[in-house]
Amino acid sequence: MDINGTGERFADGFGPAAHTGAPRVGHEVLAVVFQVREGRLCVLVWRRGRPPCEGLWALPGGSLGMLEGLGESIRRQLAQKVDVRDLSHLEQLETRGDPDRDPFARTLATAYLGLVPAGIDPVVPPDTEWCFASELLPMAFDHTAMVDSARRRLRAKLSYTNIGFALAPPEFTMSQLSRYYRAALGHDVAATNLRRVLLRRGQIEETGRSVPSGRSGGRPAALFRFRARTLEITDAFAVLRPPAD
């Protein structure tokens, strides 16, 4: 017998739904988890093994527990179902409630945007993969639209916040950081320009260390880090634009 946080019973015919004749409405939480891998923005997906949408890719997540919050639920499900625990950032993205989004039952879905920093390689189950976000095959339900929303949110926040910290390892060269930005933004980002912009906004700082030169020689590359590894708005009206033709 299900009991919600106030002690009201639903499974045996008690509660608001029973008195009004309204149908039960389910609520699931899902995560669009991005990571830059092989120089590309990738999203974590798993292949459904049963109807509806059997065989299609889907976002990880599941039903909201009766006694848990939304954020608590998605962190639990990512850890238990796909063994992803090293999130550098997690934020609520959107809630979708189209009556026809799930052909089996009336279900609301709250999606989260999650980021895993480069250099970490979570061990995921056999039915789970990192797929290029720009080359997704057809996905279950409305999950493709959620991925698109998450990409737009990430691109926007790279312009006016320090969210790049969640894509990068703790220390990086500017050449490396520009590749992470390029993967997320979908256009070229010059390392020298990115360095100038992020230093002016106070997002990054030099560590005082450098990466030794490779076989070709040349000047050692300086190592940088983000000054804060929590989300901050650093330039509310900024936009990182594609280079002019």
Query: How do residues 127-167 score in pLDDT, each as one tens digit?
Result: 999 999 999 989 999 999 999 999 999 999 999 999 999 99
pLDDT at 6: 37
pLDDT at 236: 81
pLDDT (average), residues 194-213: 94
Domains of the chain, each with CATH number or no CATH: 16-152 (3.90.79.10), 161-226 (1.10.10.10)
pLDDT at 245: 58
pLDDT at 11: 36
pLDDT at 212: 82
Confidence band (pLDDT; 50, 70, 90) for 118? very high
Asked if pLDDT for residue 213 goes beyond 50, the answer is yes
Query: Could you give the maximum distance between any two Cα atoms of the chain, in Å?
Result: 77
pLDDT (average), residues 63-67: 94
pLDDT (average), residues 85-103: 94
pLDDT (average), residues 41-58: 96
129 C-beta neighbours (distance < 10 Å), count: 14
CA triple 88-151-100, angle to 5 deg: 110
pLDDT (average), residues 82-111: 94
Give alpha helix (H) positions in the chain: 16-20, 70-81, 143-160, 174-185, 191-200
Asked if pLDDT for residue 62 goes beyond 70, the answer is yes
Closest CA to 34 of 100, 90, 83: 90
Question: Both tokens of residue 123?
Answer: 């061990």
Q: Is 60 exposed, middle or buried (0-12, 13-18, 19+ CB in 10 A)?
A: buried
pLDDT (average), residues 216-230: 88
Question: Mean pLDDT, the chain, as a whole number?
Answer: 89
The model's pLDDT over 3-49, given as tens digits with 9 standing for 90+, comes to 344 333 333 333 444 445 566 889 999 999 999 999 999 999 999 99
